[in-house]
């Protein structure tokens, strides 16, 4: 009798302990998820604060520049970053039109992200991968590229791409198209250690950004997909052919007001 009561009491105690342990694990899981969500939200607030800052103040550099500076400093001999902030008014209209014509023809129309372009790029990349080729398309707007250059790394991950989309919408929410283009032209990479319109104009053509011709602007826009490769030879068949195509498209490029 006593043994039976003891067994029952033991089973009840074990059941209670397991229930308590399960509830404790469940609470811990909920707490962990809540903490993760809080961290993500706080990080987005942090990024949005920087977006607000850059809507008014000019950046002294970008996350991508800092990443490349570390890489270039490790070379033998080391390479320095070429970068000089240039106001929107001091950049040739030809370069503004060339970049829009080459990278984002609907720049003044969309809200920061072109989902159809992303879908087409996804399908193209799948075909390239199936064929064993390394060529890739990003489908990114100028706003997305700016988000990546200012805040993110060049890593090709879904998490990085998702964060890029979020920042792009933040940028479009608080900045004018004119400000977005000004920032883009100043932080985009034009070659190995060459960043921004002024540095690119001096590096390749020995002129100021304000004096870039249509021919020169189109060639600078032509190297944007892979500037460290295409920038090595501005007279290459690819750069010249792509430059002619961009020159023709510049006639219909619309600049922000």
Which one-letter DSSP state was computed for residue 78? -
Q: What CA–CA distance (Å, rounded) separates 245 from 201?
A: 20
Radius of gyration for the chain, computed over Cα atoms and rounded to the nearest angstrom: 26
pLDDT in tens, 110-169: 998 888 877 876 776 677 666 666 666 667 899 999 999 999 877 778 888 899 999 999
Average pLDDT over residues 167-178: 96
Average pLDDT over residues 87-112: 95
pLDDT of residue 78: 80
Mean of all residue pLDDT scores within the chain: 86
CB 64 within 8 A of CB 189: yes
pLDDT in tens, 24-35: 666 777 778 788
pLDDT of residue 27: 74
């Amino acid at each position: 009798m006593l043994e039976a009561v003891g067994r029952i009491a033991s089973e009840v105690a074990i059941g209670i302990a397991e229930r308590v342990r399960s509830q404790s694990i469940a609470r811990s899981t909920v707490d962990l998820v809540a903490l993760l969500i809080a961290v993500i939200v706080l990080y987005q607030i942090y990024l949005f604060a920087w977006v607000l800052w850059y809507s008014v103040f000019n950046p002294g550099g970008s996350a991508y520049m800092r990443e490349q500076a570390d890489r270039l400093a490790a070379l033998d001999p080391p390479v320095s970053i070429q970068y000089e902030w240039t106001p929107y008014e001091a950049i040739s209209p030809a370069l503004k039109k060339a970049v829009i014509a080459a990278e984002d023809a609907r720049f003044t129309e969309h809200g920061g992200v072109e989902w159809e372009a992303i879908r087409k790029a996804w399908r193209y990349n799948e075909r390239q991968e199936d064929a064993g080729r390394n060529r890739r398309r990003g489908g990114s707007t100028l706003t997305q590229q700016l988000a990546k250059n200012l805040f993110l790394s060049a890593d090709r991950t879904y998490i990085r791409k998702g964060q890029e989309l979020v920042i792009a919408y933040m940028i479009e929410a608080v900045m004018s198209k004119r400000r977005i283009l000004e920032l883009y032209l100043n932080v985009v990479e034009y070659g190995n250690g060459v960043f921004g319109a002024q540095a690119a104009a001096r590096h390749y053509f020995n002129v100021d950004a304000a004096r870039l011709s249509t021919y020169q602007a189109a060639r600078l826009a032509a190297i944007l997909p892979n500037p460290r490769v295409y920038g090595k030879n501005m007279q290459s068949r690819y750069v010249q052919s792509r430059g002619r195509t961009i020159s023709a498209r510049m006639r219909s490029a619309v600049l922000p007001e």
